[in-house]
Amino acid sequence: MNPALDYEYALLLPELILAGTAALVLFADAFRREFGVSRRLLPWLAVAGAVVAGLVSLTYAGRSENFSELLTVDDFTTFFRVLFAAILVVLVLGSHEFVERHVRHVGEFYALLLLATVGAIFMSAARELITAYIAIELLSFSLYVAVSLTLADRRSGEASLKYVLLGGVASAMLLYGLSLLYGVAGSTYYAEIAEAFSSGTAAFEWALVLGLALVIGGLGFKASAVPFHMWTPDAYEGAPLPITAFLSATSKAAIVALLLRVFGGPLLPAIDEWQWMVAALAVLTMAFGNLIALQQSNIKRLLAYSSIGQVGYMLMAVTAVSAETSSALLLHIAGYLVTNLAVFVVVIAVHNRTGDERIVGFRGLAETQPFLALVLTAGLFSLAGMPLLAGFATKFFLFQAVASEGFLWLSVVAVIASTVSLYYYLQVIRQMYLYPPDADAERWRPSVTGLVTTGGLLAGMVFIGLYAGPVFELADQAATALFA
């Protein structure tokens, strides 16, 4: 393919805003003494950049244009642009106090979050393999550094080292797999790959299967799918809590967006070669993620294995990829992100108060801070898929869509795994409601931004759980653009 030099940079305006905000945050931090700028201004700069980028992204709704055949700006891209910008706003508002107390190099921290968001958006918009790979590495390298920024915690450096070493192996695996796909298809552009595979794959079946296995392994690492999840518990435990939340939210959603772009587009004609691999990965991820979570006593490690189990549910939709399952998956991602962020913002607020990461550290929270206990309970029940909350509605649509594509057995496995997850979520809830707080514990109030953030996320969980229609329409519109 010889793409025309249609470098219409206006199509990339949201990403340019985010990157410019990252540079501004770094500049303001580096010269804060010269300009009399307080570090407390930095999170508000990051929020402002994310809000502007999200609002600008809305102006691209209904459009379908390409940036020199490398990136596509359609409703699918717009859906994730707005989603990732919203995640960034919520995380910064819900964790700026934690960052001020526990993170070194505050300016670099916010800049890395902004740049990682740019990488995540490019993953959802890429329409060429090398562009997708560069986007993955932009996200990954930003997080490699961000994981190590916890102040005075040796686990942070250790987690970053493990993450970068294993991430390097996964990147090499992914790049080798992409090179094999290029070898058999003769192109790195999604449209030309689909055209090459649509005429049959018998002539290069073994090379294709090997390439697909390496690609699935590399992306499986980035998604924390079993058995490529070994970095996840340590990285989640050692990273600053906002980065742990970012890993479980934006990083997961970006990989799913890329999987839908690739497996629902160029690799769809070769579905017989890869479908069984993704199905096996989904089963292993749902089973082991939820079973190993039963043994955890640290809240960050518990949420790490919980997020692994959640990835298994998402991989089901990739296995049975279609317009229907994709729209159900996008709805589930929206509900999952609202729920997961609510849980993490509460965990961050409690950690700011107690400094305790153990599950028993939530003992008596219903007495010392009943509102946060309510939000955390709703979030955990939503993750488990209990009725009247977002998790139930989105899982219902997702499991039903997967079953209607002929994978009823996969939906049954998901229901069983979701039932198992209820047990370890109840362990946290039990500590909050059935045990009294420590004798010296007092009733306390979180910050105003913390209350506003958690209140908004609680409302979002209830709204999606009771009336998922508007969000489902947006998800369906995005999925329709993906399969147009």
Three-state secondary structure readout of 125-187 = HECEHHHHHHHHHHHHHHHHHHCCCECCCHHHHHHHHHHHHHHHHHHHHHHHHHHHHHHHHCC
Q: What is the DSSP letter of 358?
A: B
Q: Three-class SS of residue 66?
A: strand
Which residue is listed with tokens 């402002």? Answer: 48
The answer, as to whether pTM is greater than 0.75, is yes
What Cα–Cα distance (Å) separates residue 367 from each residue in 315, 432, 443? Answer: 39, 8, 7
Confidence band for 370, pLDDT divided at 50, 70 and 90: very high
Mean residue pLDDT of the chain comes to 91
Helix H or strand E encompassing 73: strand 71-73
**Is the predicted pLDDT of residue 3 greater than 60, yes or no?**
no
The predicted structure's pLDDT at residue 386: 92
Q: Please, are residues 343 and 303 in contact by the beta-carbon 8 Å criterion?
A: yes
The predicted structure's pLDDT at residue 279: 95
pLDDT per residue as tens digits for the range 431-462? 999 988 877 778 888 889 989 999 999 999 99
**Is the predicted pLDDT of residue 1 greater than 50, yes or no?**
no
In whole angstroms, give the CA distance from residue 403 to residue 273.
21
**Is the predicted pLDDT of residue 249 greater than 80, yes or no?**
yes
Q: What whole-number percentage of the chain has pLDDT above 70? A: 99
The predicted structure's pLDDT at residue 225: 92
Confidence band for 101, pLDDT divided at 50, 70 and 90: confident
Q: Which of 167, 67, 206, 52 is nearest to 117 (CA)?
A: 52
The predicted structure's pLDDT at residue 8: 83
**Is the predicted pLDDT of residue 305 greater than 80, yes or no?**
yes
The predicted structure's pLDDT at residue 23: 95
pLDDT per residue as tens digits for the range 190-212? 989 999 998 887 778 889 999 99
394 vs 4, higher pLDDT: 394
pLDDT (mean) for 234-242:
89
Confidence band for 325, pLDDT divided at 50, 70 and 90: very high
Confidence band for 5, pLDDT divided at 50, 70 and 90: low
Confidence band for 465, pLDDT divided at 50, 70 and 90: very high
Q: Which of 183, 344, 359, 201 is nearest to 270 (CA)?
A: 201
Which residue is listed with tokens 């996008």? Answer: 330
Q: Three-class SS of residue 300?
A: helix
pLDDT (mean) for 109-136:
94
**Sign of torsion, CA 322 324 327 329?**
negative
201 vs 168, higher pLDDT: 168
pLDDT (mean) for 279-297:
93
The predicted structure's pLDDT at residue 38: 79
Which range scores top for mean pLDDT: 196-200, 229-233, 348-352, 457-461?
A: 457-461
In whole angstroms, give the CA distance from residue 451 to residue 456.
8
Report the C-alpha dihedral over residues 23, 454, 149, 99, rounded to 10 degrees: 70
In whole angstroms, give the CA distance from residue 382 to residue 399.
15
In whole angstroms, give the CA distance from residue 296 to residue 293.
5
Confidence band for 336, pLDDT divided at 50, 70 and 90: very high
**Is the predicted pLDDT of residue 414 greater than 80, yes or no?**
yes
The predicted structure's pLDDT at residue 382: 94
What Cα–Cα distance (Å) separates residue 377 from each residue in 72, 164, 344, 361? Answer: 39, 34, 12, 15
Backbone phi, psi, residue 128, to 5°: -155, 140
pLDDT per residue as tens digits for the range 16-38? 999 999 999 999 988 888 877 77
User: What residue ranges do the domains of the chain occupy?
Assistant: 10-483
The alpha carbon of 163 is separated from its chain's Cα centroid by a whole number of angstroms, namely 17
